[in-house]
Amino acid sequence: MDRGNFLKSSSAALAATGLSSNLKNRIVVGGSSLVSVEEGGCPGQPASSARARLLLDFGWRFHLGHADDAAKDFGLGARRRESQFAKSGNFLPVTRADFNDRDWAAIDLPHDWAVELPFKEAPLVFHHGAKPVGREYPETSIGWYRRVFDLAAADAGKRIAVEFDGVFRDCVVIFNGYYLGENFSGYVPFRFDLTDFANFGDKNILVVRVDATLGEGWFYEGAGIYRHVWLTKTDPRNAMGHVRKIAS
């Protein structure tokens, strides 16, 4: 089975990592469809108070952007780069709570928008699944993802982080209007600490802009958040111990 067909089946993708397809309905936290997976335990088990790992695969919204047209890319690049970052917490309207994303597609992760594109007969994409992704196709090479979720007031005082198992390719991560950073490889997992920008007892908005104009291989690589995303909640007394555990 090629990667495109594999990613089109959410249940197959979940099964590949040992997660059953009915996890979506097992544990719902604050109406946000977060699935609890205990550190070192089994999917669906109650999360420990020290560290909870929540599957953030469900309930996303998706929309194509544009690599060459800021107006079609939700305003990114409409101003000089330094003014885009001038005021922390005010990145772009698309990253704010009052942004209307109802016309965006409702999707679950893992997600690959390239697999849904029409085939293109062109030499530059022949070895990439014949899909129109790359510098020559700016209108189908950028994707935006939004996820709105709740954090309980009782989580205040915990360290909150988001972990991405894989995003293809370059991506910008924004949380509650704050620019967190970027990742530049489609095959490297990465994480960001959300604690300082989190709204406890209220809604939170996670936005990811994915740029697939550049590839890393000579084969079909797809485009988008093609692996799982996790939200972790860690007791600060155990946070450093967790870091040492990963480092070792």
Residue linked to tokens 């989190």:
198
The more confident residue out of 86 and 43 is: 86
Q: Which amino acid is at 98?
A: D
Edge-to-edge strand list for the sheet holding 35-38: 35-38, 51-55, 229-234, 159-164, 190-193
Q: Is the pLDDT of residue 22 over 70?
A: no
The string of pLDDT tens digits covering residues 208-244 is 999 999 888 888 888 999 999 999 999 887 655 444 4
Residue linked to tokens 């919204």:
61
For the CA atoms of 96, 85, 173, 52, what is the dihedral angle to 10 degrees?
-80
Q: How far is Cα 204 from Cα 96, in angstroms, rounded to an integer? A: 9
The pLDDT value recorded for residue 54 is: 96
Do the Cβ atoms of 183 and 163 come closer than 8 Å? Answer: no
137: phi then psi, degrees, rounded to nearest 5:
-130, 70
pLDDT-based confidence at residue 126 (cuts at 50, 70, 90): low
Q: How far is Cα 233 from Cα 245, in angstroms, rounded to an integer? A: 16
The pLDDT value recorded for residue 85 is: 66
Residue 69 is given by DSSP the state -
Q: Map out the domains of the chain as residue ranges.
A: 3-247
From its phi and psi, is residue 28 left (phi > 0), alpha (psi between -120 and 50) or beta? beta
Do the Cβ atoms of 167 and 210 come closer than 8 Å? Answer: yes
Do the Cβ atoms of 162 and 192 come closer than 8 Å? Answer: yes
Do the Cβ atoms of 172 and 209 come closer than 8 Å? Answer: yes
Residue 226 in tokens: 């093609």
If one counts every other C-beta atom within 10 angstroms of the C-beta of residue 142, the result is 27
Provide Rg for the chain, Cα atoms.
18
The pLDDT value recorded for residue 183 is: 96
Residue linked to tokens 């780069």:
81
Residue linked to tokens 């936290």:
29
pLDDT-based confidence at residue 245 (cuts at 50, 70, 90): very low
Q: How far is Cα 108 from Cα 165, in angstroms, rounded to an integer? A: 15
- The gap from C-alpha 237 to its chain's centroid, in whole angstroms, comes to 28
The string of pLDDT tens digits covering residues 161-205 is 999 999 999 999 999 999 999 999 999 999 999 999 999 999 999
The CATH number corresponding to 3-247 among 1.10.3720.10, 3.30.420.10, 2.60.120.260, 3.40.50.720 equals 2.60.120.260
The more confident residue out of 14 and 122 is: 122
Distances (CA, A) of 235 to 29, 63, 142, 181, 244: 18, 35, 36, 24, 15
The string of pLDDT tens digits covering residues 54-97 is 999 999 999 999 999 999 999 888 776 555 666 677 789 999 99
Give strand ranges (E) for 104-214. Answer: 105-107, 142-151, 159-164, 170-175, 178-183, 190-193, 202-211
The more confident residue out of 157 and 124 is: 157
Average pLDDT, the chain: 79
Candidate ranges 130-134, 135-139, 188-192, 215-219; pick with highest mean pLDDT: 188-192
